[in-house]
Amino acid sequence: MMSNHNQAPEQDQLYRIRHSAAHVMAQAVLEIYPEAKIAIGPPIDTGFYYDFDLGKTEEGKVRTFSSEDLEQIEKRMRQIIAGKHPFVFREVDAAEARALFSDQPYKLELIAGLEKGEVDEYGNEVKDKPAISTYRQDTFEDLCRGPHVEHTGQIPPDSFKLMSVAGAYWRGDEHNPMLQRIYGTAWRNKKDLNEHLQLLEEAKKRDHRKLGRELEIFIFEEEVGPGLPLWLPNGGVIIQELERLAVEVEQQAGYQRVKSPHLAKEDLFLHSGHLPYYAESMYPPMELEGVRYYMKPMNCPFHHKIFGAKPRSYRDLPLRLAEYGTCYRYEKSGELFGLMRVRSMQMNDAHIYCGEDQFEQEFMGVIGLYRQYFNLFGIDRYVMRLSTHAQKGLGKKYVDNQRLWLKTEDMVRRAMDNGGVPYVEVPDEAAFYGPKIDVQIWSAIGREFTLATNQVDFAVPARFDLVFTNREGKEETPLCIHRAPLSTHERMIGFLLEHYAGAFPVWLAPEQVRVIPITMEHNEYAERLALELQATGVRSDADLSSERMNAKIRNAQLMKVPYMLVVGDQEVANHAVALRKRDGSRINDLPFGAFLELVKQNIASRSSDL
């Protein structure tokens, strides 16, 4: 989950409780595993963690915590807390610190970093050379900047819980050894803890993987392959509606639609720079008649070719090419996550080719699209993130041209500032061909994802020799803006499932109306209504099963169908319906014609109300 209290969290009592709980946990672990090496243990948004290296077993396998260990550690923590041991602060010089932690290699590494003034005790970069300090409680002394509660008794013993064990790389680098991390959650009081645990339960209910199965949106089939979703008919409807929306909006914004194949020869991706910079995320090639082909991980090279299909003049610019392109990326197995992280994906992609003088307007036009969409979906919990390059990645992660990096980053910054768009800046997160603005959102269980993206490409058009003739009659290389405001179908629908908790607005709902006859005698009328609705483009079905009316209503409710039309003798007589909306509200004896108008209006306006 996010925490929005950014000013001096260290001053917060809750921060101190969590930080102190981490120390107490480390003490408990060291008592149980005296040979354990301790790494770092910071407070986090919902609690704390601490990383340990437990060494190897006799067979040479990495020693890990068991769930029984967690119980024992938690029990021991409560004993330490009951001891009301004071947290004692002291400053030490580097030599003292090294002596103190002589048998703790991770701490020694941290001390070396502190000494050089590069990083703090959590491995984060710092500006000023920090003082080296420790905190001690009971038998445990840790390298630490603090602050802590005054004594262990101030950690409420009934308001924390050890949650899980996980592997985590030392300093977050996959080349480093993997440590054992214990996550705990800690709160001011028992009530807050219970609320947090309940929130986790609620989040599970709106997890898109659960809803996707229940509402028959998508499935994964083992024989098809990991990360390769199958869209069920209900999912197909949502895809169709999203594409309809995109086509409409993009047409108005001056885009042209194009179409490109799912694979291409090696040469194209060598040319684009994908193979040099992006090969790790691509499916391995297939070879036919001596030629290697790759599934496309992005659509840009194809669009570049379309740009280059004929000579372009400044009069053609900006040229906006749009495609819901299907891309394939070989995400590492452990990175897959329901629909949010898959290996085949359909992107709301487009590339805008423009001159430098048109950049700001085009860029802001795209930001405007984002806002239009987010407004439509009621997405208000997001952060715009400007991702820039890092010098150390030039030539490896990034195209090697620092001058252009700095220049384009500056252009983006200026455009965002001029447009009054708030954003945070993160170095070393850019695409290989340029800086990008990502829109970050959170899944139901609190994991962060990039939903939409907007990237500037100063490199690849030149690699493809893309030019246009400018007003002076000279050739000029266009800039390219990559943008995907509706993300991919996979991530967007995964997100929307959670965002709406499965209760889609009418225009997106796979089934918009279900007609429910009260007895068999009303079947014919019900079916006639359903057909009439279908004929006007409303997705509707009549439930002619032998269930009782109550069961039919329940089934429609469970599938989150927005409108239920209950029809019996009275409705047949009046050519009317008894409308029950998904939220439980009812309008009885509504003339069918009036209902038809109501639905059509609601769908046409893509309303978020029922």
CB of 298 to RNA, least distance (A): 9
Closest residue by Cα to residue 319 from 461, 462, 485: 461
Please choose, out of 4-12, 28-36, 373-381, 550-558, the segment that lies near RNA by the rule CB under 7 A.
Answer: 550-558
**Interaction with RNA in 128-147: which residues (CB under 7 A)?**
none
CB of 286 to RNA, least distance (A): 19
Please choose, out of 62-70, 308-316, 407-415, 418-426, the segment that lies near RNA by the rule CB under 7 A.
Answer: 62-70
Query: Can residue 173 be called a binding residue for RNA (CB under 7 A)?
Result: yes
- Where does 215-358 have alpha helices with state H? 233-252, 266-272, 274-278, 300-307
Among positions 4, 6, 7, 66, the unique one binding RNA when judged by CB under 7 A: 66
Among positions 55, 105, 117, 226, the unique one binding RNA when judged by CB under 7 A: 226
CA 552 – CA 382 distance, rounded (Å): 38
CB of 514 to RNA, least distance (A): 11
**Interaction with RNA in 3-42: which residues (CB under 7 A)?**
none
Query: Can residue 46 be called a binding residue for RNA (CB under 7 A)?
Result: no
Please choose, out of 2-10, 63-71, 261-269, 526-534, the segment that lies near RNA by the rule CB under 7 A.
Answer: 63-71
Instruction: Report phi then psi at 17, rounded to 5.
Output: -60, -45
CB of 163 to RNA, least distance (A): 7
Nearer to RNA, 312 or 436 (CB): 436
CB of 552 to RNA, least distance (A): 8
Among positions 530, 566, 599, 603, the unique one binding RNA when judged by CB under 7 A: 566
Q: Which residues pair with 606 in a beta bridge?
A: none
CB 88 within 8 A of CB 142: no
CA 106 – CA 139 distance, rounded (Å): 19
Please choose, out of 30-38, 88-96, 462-470, 566-574, the segment that lies near RNA by the rule CB under 7 A.
Answer: 566-574
CB of 596 to RNA, least distance (A): 17
Query: Can residue 182 be called a binding residue for RNA (CB under 7 A)?
Result: no
Number of residues that bind RNA (CB under 7 A): 85
Please choose, out of 69-77, 122-130, 180-188, 407-415, the segment that lies near RNA by the rule CB under 7 A.
Answer: 180-188
Nearer to RNA, 79 or 588 (CB): 588
Closest residue by Cα to residue 506 from 480, 478, 540: 540
Among positions 37, 181, 271, 514, the unique one binding RNA when judged by CB under 7 A: 181
CA 246 – CA 254 distance, rounded (Å): 12
**Interaction with RNA in 67-106: which residues (CB under 7 A)?**
67
Class of residue 515 by CB neighbours under 10 A (exposed 0-12, middle 13-18, buried 19+) = buried
CA 307 – CA 297 distance, rounded (Å): 19
Please choose, out of 131-139, 248-256, 406-414, 517-525, the segment that lies near RNA by the rule CB under 7 A.
Answer: 517-525
Nearer to RNA, 347 or 354 (CB): 347
Query: Can residue 331 be called a binding residue for RNA (CB under 7 A)?
Result: yes
CA 87 – CA 560 distance, rounded (Å): 54
Give the SS3 label for residue 231.
strand
Query: Can residue 574 be called a binding residue for RNA (CB under 7 A)?
Result: no
Measured between alpha carbons, how far apart are the two ends of the chain, in Å?
A: 30
Q: Which residues pair with 37 in a beta bridge?
A: 53
Count the helices and strands in the chain (H runs, E runs).
18, 29
Query: Can residue 335 be called a binding residue for RNA (CB under 7 A)?
Result: yes
Query: Can residue 165 be called a binding residue for RNA (CB under 7 A)?
Result: yes
Class of residue 335 by CB neighbours under 10 A (exposed 0-12, middle 13-18, buried 19+) = exposed
Query: Can residue 274 be called a binding residue for RNA (CB under 7 A)?
Result: no
CB of 172 to RNA, least distance (A): 3
Query: Can residue 217 be called a binding residue for RNA (CB under 7 A)?
Result: no
Q: Which residues contact 68 (CB under 8 A, 6 or more apart)?
A: none
Among positions 13, 164, 251, 391, the unique one binding RNA when judged by CB under 7 A: 164
- Where does 83-207 have alpha helices with state H? 94-100, 105-116, 190-205
Nearer to RNA, 195 or 448 (CB): 448
Query: Can residue 564 be called a binding residue for RNA (CB under 7 A)?
Result: yes
Instruction: Report phi then psi at 303, rounded to 5.
Output: -65, -35
DSSP class of 341 = B
Cβ contacts of 57-63, under 8 Å, gap ≥ 24:
62/178, 62/180, 63/33, 63/180
Among positions 578, 592, 595, 603, the unique one binding RNA when judged by CB under 7 A: 578
Q: Count Cβ atoms below 10 Å from residue 402 Cβ, excluding itself.
A: 12
Cα 147 to chain centroid, rounded: 32
Nearer to RNA, 243 or 331 (CB): 331
Query: Can residue 169 be called a binding residue for RNA (CB under 7 A)?
Result: yes
CA 478 – CA 316 distance, rounded (Å): 11
**Interaction with RNA in 423-482: which residues (CB under 7 A)?**
429, 431, 436, 438, 445-453
Closest residue by Cα to residue 590 from 570, 561, 607: 570
Query: Can residue 558 be called a binding residue for RNA (CB under 7 A)?
Result: yes
Query: Can residue 570 be called a binding residue for RNA (CB under 7 A)?
Result: yes
CB of 472 to RNA, least distance (A): 36
Nearer to RNA, 334 or 473 (CB): 334
Among positions 180, 234, 388, 602, the unique one binding RNA when judged by CB under 7 A: 180
